[in-house]
Amino acid sequence: MRKGKWLWPRREPMLGVNQAKQQGFTLLEILIAIAVFSVLSLAAYQVLQGVISSDQISSEHTQRLKQLQRAMLIIERDMTQMVARTTRTGAEPSKDLLRAGKFVAESESDGIEFVRLGWSNPQGQFPRSNLVRVAYRVKENNLERLYFLYPDIVSGQEPEVQVLIHDVNSLTLRYWDKSWQTSWSQKDKLPAGIAMEFDFEAYGVVTRLFLTPQGEAVKARKPVVPEDPSCKPDETSPPNNGEGNEDGEGGEEGEENDNNGPNGGPVNGGRR
């Protein structure tokens, strides 16, 4: 120890403790941890993506099923209220109660057109009747429902178009009249039932049967013209038999002759 100074003992660093505090993860360990976390994240993402995809597919399937059920309900409502009524387009009246077959209503396959009842018109607020002219067709892979505001339309009038179902390949119709027929040629009669066969991209071939009210066209009877009553004889008046004229002179004369006897005198003393 020097004079005037205190000399503290020198402390040697504790190498073992400091080295232990400064140690950490190596680069290899960090890479392994990142790889494991990436694998777990990818697995979780795949599971989540599968759940989202399944939910989307289920939602689309439910939506298509609702659309199909709604379309079938609309068609059934039209078919069950079909009425035997002819239509007219412009100045050309149609004699067909039911128009059905290939390319009807500009369809790419079978089409059908008829008149139905039951179009709601509360308290007659709209200038139309409860009759509506409807048609069904397949165009551009869509099942469309066409309707006119009036059963009898002017030439060139465009209908209102309502798309019912998408992704429809074709439509085939059959008609029941004691047996199934592929075509309907009876102009003055409605079939008892109609089978509609749809070819969907999602469901394949679906066939639906609809009952229709049987009906026939009411033929107009020839009007009966009543005969002129002045040409008929008056059956209520007694016959004249040529005994008197229109003034009744002959009748009075005959009455006087009846009161005279064979000798010119009155019968029974002139008493009646």
What does the pLDDT look like over 81-117, one tens digit per residue? 999 988 888 877 888 899 999 999 999 999 999 999 8
Read off the pLDDT of residues 143-178 as tens digits, 9 standing for 90 and up: 999 998 888 888 788 899 999 999 999 999 999 998
Per the structure, the count of domains in the chain is 1
Residue 1 falls within a domain, yes or no?
no
Strand-pairing partners, residue 110, are: 102
Among the listed ranges 11-15, 111-115, 127-131, 196-200, which one has the minimum average pLDDT value?
11-15
The CATH number assigned to the domain holding 49 equals: 3.10.610.10
- Give the single-character DSSP code of 9: P
C-alpha angle with apex 171: 134 to 181, nearest 5 degrees? 90
Say how far apart CA 189 and CA 85 lie, in whole Å: 10
**Whole-model pTM above 0.85?**
no
Read off the pLDDT of residues 179-189 as tens digits, 9 standing for 90 and up: 999 999 888 89
Strand, helix or coil for residue 42: helix
Instruction: Tell me which residue range forms the domain holding 86.
Output: 30-226
Of the candidates 158, 154, 149, 87, the residue with the CA atom closest to the CA atom of residue 119: 149
Cβ–Cβ < 8 Å for 71, 143: yes
Residue 258 falls within a domain, yes or no?
no
Q: Is 39 exposed, middle or buried (0-12, 13-18, 19+ CB in 10 A)?
A: exposed
Give Cβ neighbours of residue 71 (< 8 Å, ≥ 6 apart): 143, 164, 165
Residue 231 falls within a domain, yes or no?
no
Identify the sign of the CA torsion 120, 208, 61, 106.
negative
Residue 139 falls within a domain, yes or no?
yes
Instruction: Using the structure block, give the residue that is written with the tokens 């795949």.
Output: 46
Residue 146 falls within a domain, yes or no?
yes
Say how far apart CA 239 and CA 61 lie, in whole Å: 93
Residue 9 falls within a domain, yes or no?
no
